[in-house]
Amino acid sequence: MTRLVWTSLLGTCMVLPFLQSYEQERPQNGAAPQRSTAMGVYSREQWMRGRDVYAGQCAGCHPAVTHVGPIFTTSWAGKRLSDLFGFIRERMPKNDPGSLSEEEYVDVITYLLRLNGMPVGLEELPADSATLSRIRIDSSRVAPPARPDGR
Ligand code: HEC
């Protein structure tokens, strides 16, 4: 009897962590597990802040147009926003990687999305890796690319 209790207790302990991580990974609303950049995942104010970050911290080495079109889609289409965020945060600015705030990095990413014609939405994209990892970069339905000044 005692043995049986211990066995089932042990069994519960081993199963619980798996159940919990399953719960956390489930999409909150039960709908599609992922969003995509085609849905408008950043706001106008945000990409305009990102444009200023880019002008101040990035344009000295490469102009914004170098991130537009096939250069961008070949590397990033189908990937997650967390991949793009991670790449830029870990490697840029090339002379001082990681030197910007999380908010500046996420703002500058929305500027790159804007340049590549990904639609603008109403809410800001949060600098939160869990959220970013659930958003796929979708370049299949885009508006005409914006000029670097966004007009
Ligand atoms: C000191 C120069 C320098 C600065 C400043 C800089 N970069 Fe770069 N960047 C480079 C170089 C050189 C490459 C080529 C790839 C490599 O060496 O990693 C590159 C590559 C990239 C790429 C991948 C290639 C492409 O065109 O898509 C992205 C995206 C990028 N940089 C974004 C940024 C952003 C955003 C900033 C500002 C936060 C920034 N860089 C600041 C030098 C710089």
Does 126 fall in a domain?
A: yes
Does 64 fall in a domain?
A: yes
Q: Given this model, what pLDDT does residue 139 score?
A: 83
CA–CA distance, 113 with 80 (Å, rounded to integer): 12
Does 99 fall in a domain?
A: yes
Q: Which residues contact residue 137 at a Cβ distance below 8 angstroms, ignoring those fewer than 6 apart?
A: 36, 37, 76, 77, 78, 79, 80, 81, 84
133 CA distance to ligand 1 middle (Å): 22
Q: Given this model, what pLDDT does residue 23 score?
A: 42
Considering the chain, what percentage of its residues have pLDDT values greater than 90? Answer: 68
Q: Which residues contact residue 135 at a Cβ distance below 8 angstroms, ignoring those fewer than 6 apart?
A: 34, 35, 36, 37, 41, 80, 81, 82, 125
CA–CA distance, 13 with 95 (Å, rounded to integer): 49
Decide which of 146 and 64 is more confident.
Answer: 64
Give the pLDDT confidence of 38-86 residue by residue, as tens digits. Answer: 999 999 999 999 999 999 999 999 999 999 999 999 999 999 999 999 9
Does 100 fall in a domain?
A: yes
- Where in the sequence is the domain holding 112, given as residue range(s)? 35-136
Q: Give me the number of domains the chain comprises.
A: 1
Q: Given this model, what pLDDT does residue 8 score?
A: 59
62 CA distance to ligand 1 middle (Å): 7
Q: What is the mean pLDDT of the chain?
A: 83
Q: Given this model, what pLDDT does residue 34 score?
A: 80
Q: Which mutation among 51, 54, 88, 92 tests ligand 1's pocket best, with the greatest number of atoms within 8 A of CB?
A: 92
Does 148 fall in a domain?
A: no
Query: Is residue 145 pLDDT above 90, yes or no?
Result: no
Q: Given this model, what pLDDT does residue 10 score?
A: 56
Does 86 fall in a domain?
A: yes
Mean pLDDT to the nearest integer, 116-125: 96
Give the pLDDT confidence of 85-107 residue by residue, as tens digits. Answer: 999 999 999 999 999 999 999 99
Does 83 fall in a domain?
A: yes
Contact 111, 30 (CB under 8 A): no
CATH of the domain at 94: 1.10.760
Query: Is residue 141 pLDDT above 70, yes or no?
Result: no
Query: Is residue 19 pLDDT above 50, yes or no?
Result: no
Does 125 fall in a domain?
A: yes
Helices (H), the chain: 2-25, 44-57, 70-76, 81-91, 102-115, 129-133
User: What is the pLDDT confidence band of residue 30, given thresholds at 50, 70 and 90?
Assistant: very low
Residue 31 has φ and ψ, to the nearest 5°, of -85, -155
Task: Tally the C-alpha atoms within 13 A of residue 85's C-alpha that lie toward its C-beta.
Answer: 24
Mean pLDDT to the nearest integer, 15-35: 50
Of 118, 102, 103, 119, residue with least CA distance to 67: 118
> Which residues line the pocket of ligand 1, CB cutoff 6 A?
57-58, 60-62, 66-67, 71-72, 88, 91-95, 100, 108
